[in-house]
Amino acid sequence: MSISESIRKNSKSTAIGAVIVLILAGLLILNQTSTSATSRYNQPKWMFDLNTKQLAIAEASTYAPHDNGSGTFDYGRTGPAGSLVDAMVYSCGSPTDIKEGMTIDDLNGVDAHIVYLFRGVSNTSTATSGQLTDQEARIVSRSDGAAWFGQFTQQGQDVQNNFPECSDGSSPVRTRP
């Protein structure tokens, strides 16, 4: 008996089997897309304390700037706020070498770098009063935190695209704790 004859003789069983396979495939696809799409938003993230000059680990929901107890930091035009800000940490070495509490020099020692820091501007009245533009609702800085630029301004884009060069010619990899 050939496969096509078996299918014809057992068409009801074949149809039920096909529906079960389709349902399982749909559930698998749904699980894969929903897990991968949301899991990165639930992962811990790197932050950098501008007062202690150390890398920190925080929950994904932690809003920067955050007051972690080390005092406030003067952000210039946006005023003082918590000193903990989001950090985009990239590595040319092993990402597992990066640890909480590391300084810029420590990161350089494991061939890792903070490409840029960023934070939101929580004071919307400041953003709409003419002191800041709509392009500056999220601001970025180099790892020293000395100057802050709107994320979408030319200076902000320059800061965000200042990737280190890896000695082997490869591109640095973004890391997470």
In tens, the pLDDT along 45-103 reads 999 999 999 999 999 999 999 999 999 999 888 889 999 999 999 999 999 999 999 99
Residue 137 carries which side chain, given as an amino acid letter?
A: A
pLDDT at position 165: 85
Those residues with Cβ within 8 angstroms of residue 86's Cβ, 6 or more apart along the chain or in another chain: 45, 46, 47, 48, 64, 117, 118, 119
**What is the spatial distance between Cα 52 and Cα 102, in angstroms, rounded to a whole number?**
10
69 or 164, higher pLDDT = 69
**What is the spatial distance between Cα 112 and Cα 158, in angstroms, rounded to a whole number?**
19
Answer yes or no: are the C-beta atoms of 114 and 162 closer than 8 Å: no
Answer yes or no: are the C-beta atoms of 63 and 82 closer than 8 Å: no
pLDDT at position 8: 72
Q: Across residues 156-171, what is the average pLDDT?
A: 90
Answer yes or no: are the C-beta atoms of 57 and 177 closer than 8 Å: yes
pTM of the model: 0.71
